[in-house]
Structure 1
Amino acid sequence: MRSLVLTVLILSSIDPFEDITAPHEASSYTFKWPIHRVAIIGAGAGGLIAYDQFSRLNNFYVRLFERDSMPGGNWHYTANETSPNAPVPNFPTSKADFEPDLPPDGVKLPYEKSFEGVEEQRVLEVKIDQRAPKPIWERLGATGPRSYQEFRALPWPEQTPIDINRTHLQRYVRTFASFLSLNSNDNNPDVSYDTRVERVTKRYNITTSTENGQQTKTEAGWTLLLRQFTQTGNNSYKIRWREEHFDAIVVASGRFNAPNTPDIPGLSQWASLYPHLISHSRQYRRPEEFANQSVLVIGGSVSGTEIAEELDGVAGKVILSVRDSEDSAHTPPRKMHLSRVPRNVSIVPEIKSFHPFTAPGITSGKVELFNGTILHGFDRIILATGYRYSFPFLPQYINTSLRANETIPIQGTDAKSTQRQQPLITDGTHIRSLHLDIFYIEEPTIGFINMNTGIETFLYSEFTSAALSKVWAGQAKLPSSDFMWARHWERVGKGYGRTFMAYGVEKQAAITKYLVGWLNQDAVKYGGYQLNLPSDNRLQISKLWVAARFPNYRGGDGSNGEWQPLSTGDGLFAINDLGFDSDSEGERERDETWSVGRDDW
C-alpha cells in the first residue's frame, strides 16, 4: 500500500481500547461522593443529547447551561456577530476561548451589576463576547450527508435533501431542543441561556470533631460560578453572577471556540498594523465582503479550501497557502479537500515569513514561501488555521509549561505517585488524561462529550453520554485508577498532538461497539436499559455522498483533474497515487479519508 492507505490504516489501528475487557467489580473505581446533581456545559448537539440520556434515569437532577441565547451550539448562525480581530499572536491556552469575568472580590453572591447609557455597539460587543462568534458562514454546507448528522430519537423528515446546509442544521438542532422541551421559549427551569460558566472549583465539606475540635475537610463535589448576561435596553445591560453546586460535570462546550493562528515570523507585525485586513476563518461570513480584492487564504483543511472555493469568481484573485506535512495523519484528507479547489485558485506552499513593511499599505507587503518565492499585492488575509482546545473554566487542569509530546514524569502506572496532577490541556492541540476520551482520570466526575475529530457528533454523543450517565448512576463500573492510567500511558506511547483525538469511520465503529458491549454487560449486573448499535445504512449513503462531493479525487500526479500547486519545483504537493487494489478497497479508503478530516477546520 502507498502513503494514504498506510496512513489511514495506521490511524485506525491506534485504538486505546484494544484488549480492554469490562472490569470486575473488585477492581472498579470508587467515587469519592454520591452523584445526583449533574451540570451540562453547552446546549449544542452533544449537550442536548447528554441531557436526554441523563433524563432517562431517575437518579439525577440535571441542569443545562448555555452561554448563547438559544440552543444549537456552532449551528446557531448570526450574520453580523463576529469577533473584531484575529488573535495574533495566539492567546494563552487558558484564555483562548474567553477570559473569565469574575465578580469583585469579597462580594456576596448572587451579585448583580447594571450598565446604563452604553453605546449600542458596546452592548453588542459584550453580547458577542458572552456567546462567542460561531465558526460557520452564510453558505456553509454540511461536511457530511444528512444521515451523518441525525439524532436517532428524532430522524430527519424524509423530504429533507441528503446534502444539507447550515440552515437545515440550525433548524434541526432547535427542533430537537423543542422535542426535549429545552428551547429558549420553553421556559424550562432545567436550562439557563445567556449563562456562561466562568469557574468550576472543588467543593468541600468541613466537619468538626466533638472530641477535640479538629476540623476535617472532605471533597464533596463541584461549585460552578455562573455569569448571566441580560440586555435590558438598546443602551443598557446587566451581569449577574451566582453559584450552583453539583456532583458531576459534563463538558459539551465544543471544539471550535478558540481560534488558532500560526506562529509565522512577521505575522504579528502585519496584524498590529492592519488588524481589520487580517482575519481568522471564524470571522468569515460571505464572499461579497472580498469582492475584486486579492486574497491570501492560509490553511488547506476544510475551512481554507471551502472559503477559497467560495471566493473564486467574487474576489479578484485567490491564493491558497498549504503546509505540506507528510508525517501528518490529516495530510490525505487535506489533499481530498484540495481536490475541490477551482483551477482559478492558485495553490502555493507554506509561508516562511511576512517581510517587514518598507512602504505604507498592506498591498506593499511581501510574503516569502519556503521554496523562496516572494508574493505581494494582497488586500486581505484569511487565517483558516483551525482551533485549539480551551476550557477557561477549568484553569486548575491546564498546564501550558508542557509542549505537545511532553508529560509530567511518573513512577509506575499511577499518576498520583508523582504527587503532581496530570493536566487536561497543555498546548491546546489535544485533551489528555482521559479514559475512553470521556472520563478525566484524575477526577472521573468530570466527563467530556464530542471532543474527538472525525466522529458523527449527533450519533457518537449518544453513546458517550450513556457511558457517563450509567457510570455515575452505578449501572456500569469504571476500572481502577491504576488500570485507567496504565491504559492511558500505553496509548500516549504513540504520541500526543493534533491526531491524538482523531477517529474516523472505522475507529468510531470499533469504539462504539466496545462501549455498547461494556455498558450492556454491566446493565445485566447492575440494572439499566440496553443500548442498540446504530444501523449501517448511513454508511452506504455516505459513500455515495463522498463520491459526489469529491469527484476529482482519484489519485495520480495532478494531470487528471486534481489541483496543481503554483510553483513547487519538487512535486511535494501532487496528490499521490493511492494504489487501490480494487474498487471496493478504494471506496473504503476514500470514505475513511473523508471521515478522518471532515471536521479538521
Structure 2
Amino acid sequence: MGSLPLQSASLQVKRIAIIGAGPSGLAVAKYLLAEKFDKIDIYEQQAEVGGVWNYNYNITNAVPVPQTTPDVPPDEPVWPPGAEAPLFPNPMYDSLITNIPKQLMQYSDQAFLSESLLFPTREDVQDYLVRYSQGVRQLIKFSNQVQEVTLSQEIGQDRWHVTARSTITNTVTRNEYDAVVVANGHYSVPFIPPVPGIEEFQAKHPSIISHSKNYRSPKSFANKKVIVIGGGASGLDIGNQISVVCQKPLLNSIRSEQPLKLGKEIKEEVPPIAKYLVNERGVRFEDGRVEKDVDAIVYCTGYLYAYPFLRSLDPPIVTTGRRVIGLYKQLFHISHPTLAFTALSQKVIPFPLSESQGAVIAKVWSNKLLLPDESVMRAWEKQKVDELGDTRNFHILGYPRDADHINELHDWAGQAENGFAKEPPYWDEQQRHIRSVFADIRKRFIELGGKATSMKGLGPEFEDLNRL
C-alpha cells in the first residue's frame, strides 16, 4: 500500500454510528473502541444482538413474486402478544446448523463453548454472539430502526445525519456523526427471478411460491410435491429437511450438479425452470420435462443488496441490487471514505473477515493509515468489475481468495502508525486447510449423526486438525 499515491487530507472522525448489532457490527465496534474514538453508537432494530442469528420463530412477511428490485421499503416490525418489543422477520429457521466448523467460524478473541457442536446450532451461535457483545452492549441503541442517513459538508468534512425511530415508542431521533459503518447485512430483500409465466401463476396459486427467508420448518411440506430452487447452502440444507417429509423425491432445481450430496436418495436434481404452467399448476424445466400438480416451490436464490436508508446518496450505491457500487476493497466508499460497508462478500467466513475489516476501518478513521488517492481506488474498482463482472459475482470470493483477503487486511492494518491496538486474525496454513476441506468435514459430520463437538472421531484425515 505504501507505494501508492495517498490521500493528503486527514479525516476528522470522532463520532461514529454503526448500523446493525449483528456479527459484523459487533466486531467492528470492538476495533473502533480499541482506537478510543469519542463516541460510538450502534443502532439495532431488534431488542437483542445477533442479526440474522437472532431467531424470530414465525415472524415473516410475504415476499413479492417475482422480486427483482432492491427498491423496497424496509421490513415492518411485528409486535407479538406479550412481547416487550416488536420483532422483525429474518431468514433464520428452526433447525439450522452452520456449514462452517466452529474453529474457523469463531472470532479471534473468543472460542465457542466446548460443548457446542462442531457445526454449531443457531442457538449456539446466538448465545455465542450475546456473550461476545458484552464489551460493547453499552453502545447499542436497541429497538431503533434507522430510517434515513443523509450527508452534508462542514468545512470540507463529511457529516452524516442518522434518523432513527424507536420501534417501541415511535420516538424519532436525529444525530450527527463524522462517519458511519453500514453493518446491517444483506439478507433482507429476497431475489426471485422473473421466469416466464410466474406472475400469472402467482396470481392464480398465491400460496405455492415462497422464499427461503420465510422458511421455518419442514412441517408444512408433509406429503406435498415440492420443488426447491437453488444449490447453495440454504438450498442444500432446506431441501434436505423438506425431502424427509414431502412426496419422494423432492425436486432440486439447479444450474449445475452440486459436489456435496446429503440425502441424495430422496432428492432428484433437475434443471432450472423455463416456464410456469398456470392451468396445470406446474412447471416446464429447461430440458422439456413437465411437472404438474406442484404443491410448493421454495426459492433459495439469495438476496439483493438494499439500503433504503441511504436512498438520498447520489450517485446511488445500489441500482440492480446485484452489488454495491463505488467501494474500494469492498469496504470504503470512494467518494466519501467516512462511509464504510462490512461483510458484503459472499462465500466467506464472515466473523473473522468482519474483524479484519474493523481493524482497517479503525486505523483509517484514526488517521494511522491513509487510503490511496481517489483515482487509484476507482481504478481498483474498475479492474474488479472487468475481472468479475457487474453482477452478483462481484462480491463472491470463495476459497482461497477469502483467506487471502483476511490476511491482506491484517497486513494492511499492521502498517498503521504504532501497530495494532487490537490485532485482527491472520490465517495460518492449518486454518487455510480447514477452509479448503470444511465441506468434506461437514459431510462426515452429518454421516456420523451430527452430534460431534470436535473433529475427533471423524476419521484420521480430520483428527489432526482438532487443535484449533
- Among 151, 159, 163, the alignment partner of 1:225 is 163
Query: Where do residues 195-206 of structure 1 align in structure 2 (5 Å cutoff)?
Result: 195-205=144-154
SS of structure 2 residue aligned to 1:203:
strand
| Structure 2 residue 88 is matched with structure 1 residue 132 | yes
| Structure 2 residue 121 is matched with structure 1 residue 143 | no
Q: Contact between 1:349 and 1:371, CA under 8 Å: does it hold in 2? A: yes
Separation in structure 1 between the aligned mates of residue 136 and residue 33 of structure 2, nearest angstrom = 12
Q: Contact between 1:305 and 1:341, CA under 8 Å: does it hold in 2? A: no
**Deviation for aligned residue 1:374:** 1.4
What's 2:171 paired with?
Answer: 240
Amino acid at match of 1:372: G
Q: Contact between 1:450 and 1:461, CA under 8 Å: does it hold in 2? A: yes
Separation in structure 2 between the aligned mates of residue 423 and residue 164 of structure 1, nearest angstrom = 38
Separation in structure 2 between the aligned mates of residue 258 and residue 52 of structure 1, nearest angstrom = 28
**Residue-by-residue CA offset, 1:72-97 (whole Å, 9 max, x unaligned):** 011111222122x2221216312265
What's 2:140 paired with?
Answer: 191
What's 2:17 paired with?
Answer: 39
Q: Contact between 1:319 and 1:345, CA under 8 Å: does it hold in 2? A: yes
| Structure 2 residue 410 is matched with structure 1 residue 432 | no
What's 2:231 paired with?
Answer: 300
Separation in structure 1 between the aligned mates of residue 35 and residue 288 of structure 2, nearest angstrom = 62
1:291–1:322 distance in 2 versus 1, CA, 3 Å: closer
What's 1:49 paired with?
Answer: 27
Separation in structure 2 between the aligned mates of residue 372 and residue 52 of structure 1, nearest angstrom = 54
What's 2:426 paired with?
Answer: 533
**Deviation for aligned residue 1:28:** 2.1
| Structure 2 residue 6 is matched with structure 1 residue 27 | yes
**Deviation for aligned residue 1:249:** 0.5
What's 1:336 paired with?
Answer: 259
SS of structure 1 residue aligned to 2:355:
helix
Separation in structure 2 between the aligned mates of residue 395 and residue 193 of structure 1, nearest angstrom = 23
**Deviation for aligned residue 1:272:** 2.5
The unaligned stretches of length 5 or more in structure 2 are 446-460, 462-468
| Structure 2 residue 291 is matched with structure 1 residue 375 | yes
| Structure 2 residue 425 is matched with structure 1 residue 469 | no
Q: Contact between 1:96 and 1:390, CA under 8 Å: does it hold in 2? A: no
Separation in structure 2 between the aligned mates of residue 348 and residue 530 of structure 1, nearest angstrom = 47
SS of structure 1 residue aligned to 2:400:
helix
**Residue-by-residue CA offset, 1:374-421 (whole Å, 9 max, x unaligned):** 111112221112111111111134xxxxxxxxxxxxxxxxxxxxxxx5
Separation in structure 2 between the aligned mates of residue 458 and residue 531 of structure 1, nearest angstrom = 11
What's 1:498 paired with?
Answer: 392
Q: Contact between 2:68 and 2:192, CA under 8 Å: does it hold in 1? A: no
Amino acid at match of 1:366: G
- Among 185, 194, 199, the alignment partner of 1:268 is 199
**Deviation for aligned residue 1:27:** 3.0
Separation in structure 2 between the aligned mates of residue 286 and residue 527 of structure 1, nearest angstrom = 45
**Deviation for aligned residue 1:54:** 0.5
SS of structure 1 residue aligned to 2:150:
strand
Separation in structure 2 between the aligned mates of residue 531 and residue 346 of structure 1, nearest angstrom = 43
Q: Contact between 1:523 and 1:529, CA under 8 Å: does it hold in 2? A: no
Q: Contact between 1:296 and 1:318, CA under 8 Å: does it hold in 2? A: no
**Deviation for aligned residue 1:505:** 3.0
Separation in structure 2 between the aligned mates of residue 462 and residue 193 of structure 1, nearest angstrom = 22
**Deviation for aligned residue 1:531:** 5.3
Q: Contact between 2:331 and 2:341, CA under 8 Å: does it hold in 1? A: yes
SS of structure 2 residue aligned to 1:313:
helix
Query: Where do residues 88-487 of structure 1 align in structure 2 (5 Å cutoff)?
Result: 88-90=65-67, 92-95=69-72, 97-98=74-75, 123-124=79-80, 131-178=87-134, 180-182=135-137, 188=138, 190-205=139-154, 220-230=158-168, 238-324=169-255, 335-337=258-260, 339-357=261-279, 364-397=280-313, 422-487=315-380
- Among 73, 94, 99, the alignment partner of 2:51 is 73
**Deviation for aligned residue 1:52:** 0.6
What's 1:488 paired with?
Answer: 381
1:300–1:320 distance in 2 versus 1, CA, 3 Å: farther
Q: Contact between 1:95 and 1:392, CA under 8 Å: does it hold in 2? A: yes
**Deviation for aligned residue 1:222:** 0.5
State the aligned residue count. Answer: 444
1:240–1:92 distance in 2 versus 1, CA, 3 Å: farther
Identity of aligned residues (%): 25
The unaligned stretches of length 5 or more in structure 1 are 1-20, 102-121, 183-187, 206-216, 231-237, 325-330, 358-363, 398-420, 553-586, 588-601
TM-score (norm 2): 0.87
Q: Contact between 1:97 and 1:390, CA under 8 Å: does it hold in 2? A: no
Separation in structure 2 between the aligned mates of residue 279 and residue 547 of structure 1, nearest angstrom = 30
1:150–1:123 distance in 2 versus 1, CA, 3 Å: closer
Q: Contact between 2:347 and 2:398, CA under 8 Å: does it hold in 1? A: yes
What's 2:448 paired with?
Answer: none
Q: Contact between 2:197 and 2:277, CA under 8 Å: does it hold in 1? A: yes
SS of structure 1 residue aligned to 2:426:
coil
Amino acid at match of 1:523: E
**Deviation for aligned residue 1:313:** 2.6
Q: Contact between 2:183 and 2:342, CA under 8 Å: does it hold in 1? A: yes
SS of structure 2 residue aligned to 1:160:
coil
Amino acid at match of 2:196: P
Q: Contact between 2:146 and 2:162, CA under 8 Å: does it hold in 1? A: yes
What's 2:450 paired with?
Answer: none
